[in-house]
Structure 1
């Protein structure tokens, strides 16, 4: 009863009904079924490696706190973490719906400088990557553009007193993923699992990817690639 009351007060009536309905359907049709909140089932892959009741995540480019979220299923299991997005409206939803988390409105990059953040009517394709923005202007409507000062992931984690051992790092920032990854010192912070969007990845020639090369150089190994996302486990933690 305590869990039901907490869900109702924290997520509101509509989301509460949605959660209960999904749980009932899964129990009726398949007792082993686990509902996915992610856009293309990323959280199903994540939980196959990190299925435990408590943990710590960092979600960069987190977008919506529930819908298409890679970390909400973990939040429901008792996890906490840091969610980062440049869209202030989305972060305000995190502050309302994911109160155990630290929720930050920021642009993350490997250099701290002024950048132009372009928001589209479809928030999932908003970005600071100029090429990405130009491509999407032909398909989506620009809703807002503003100049912000980027910040490194290292700096954010230091300010938040984040633990050095992190269970999950999820990065999805529409064409700026390598720069976000590069802004984290993997000699200090060691995510057990890193999930990062990799565009134009050639699975037969992975070394052509800067992200793949960067992570393997830091003793991570790719364990999965699905729908533009690479999954990397800390090889040092397995020894």
Structure 2
């Protein structure tokens, strides 16, 4: 039987059970920015990001939560309509319509909807699809180095590099001088579902060879980080 002395505890228990629950809000597709919130120091609010395959200024964005914290950077997508959306919603950023690869060439760009997630310049990725593209057009590829060198961030190190290039991710990663820009965190898409396969992949081996370690894995996104930086909440 409850007595008067039990009331404070019961009220505390009710509060802890129902009232203090809160949603862990995130904008990115698989919670990547929730992982970033745990990795990045809450006092670091003036970082620089580069988002390749940025898709949308808010929905499924790995950088929008950081934008709200005061970060700024470059958003890149090869679909003009997506860059128009960034110019509308994130005009403080540098928004670039470009197809990124490790070499300059003419490539075919495949789009599978008017504003879709799966636009690609990777032929194997397009061939894997069971539906037909709504458009196929020629694009001139450029490198991340060229985009950065022609931006206001040409002399800055990068705090976050996010790559979602639908099967062309390794080529995008190789298109930046990683020793010059030294991104502190790299998020890169991978469709591999086994940690053993991931550890054998070109992306993993390349980043580990450049002193990165795998810090997170959220479904299709691998999150790598350098060991030492004031950016991080905790040093490993």
TM-score range, shorter chain: 0.7 to 0.9
- Computing the radius of gyration from Cα coordinates, the structure with the larger value is 2
Tell me how far 1:33 sits from its aligned partner: 4.0
Name the stretch that deviates more: 74-83 or 43-52: 43-52
The answer for the alignment partner of 1:226 in structure 2 is 218
TM-score by length of 1: 0.82
The answer for the alignment partner of 1:75 in structure 2 is 67
Alignment of 1:144 onto 2:135: yes
Give the direction of change, closer, same or farther, for the CA distance of 1:184–1:109 in structure 2 (3 Å limit).
same
Give the distance between the partners of 1:74 and 1:53, measured in 2 at CA. 8
Give the distance between the partners of 1:206 and 1:160, measured in 2 at CA. 33
Give the distance between the partners of 2:203 and 2:20, measured in 1 at CA. 37
Give the direction of change, closer, same or farther, for the CA distance of 1:73–1:107 in structure 2 (3 Å limit).
same
Give the distance between the partners of 1:172 and 1:30, measured in 2 at CA. 36
The answer for the alignment partner of 2:116 in structure 1 is 123
Tell me how far 1:199 sits from its aligned partner: 2.1
Instruction: State the Cα RMSD in Å.
Output: 1.9
Name the stretch that deviates more: 34-43 or 212-221: 34-43
Q: How many residues align?
A: 210
What runs of 5+ residues in structure 1 fail to find an aligned partner? 1-27
Give the direction of change, closer, same or farther, for the CA distance of 1:120–1:105 in structure 2 (3 Å limit).
same
- Point out which structure has higher relative CO (alpha carbons under 8 A, 6+ apart): 2
SS of the residue corresponding to residue 177 of structure 2 reads coil
Tell me how far 1:206 sits from its aligned partner: 3.8
Tell me how far 1:204 sits from its aligned partner: 2.9
Give the distance between the partners of 1:189 and 1:180, measured in 2 at CA. 14
Give the distance between the partners of 1:40 and 1:143, measured in 2 at CA. 26
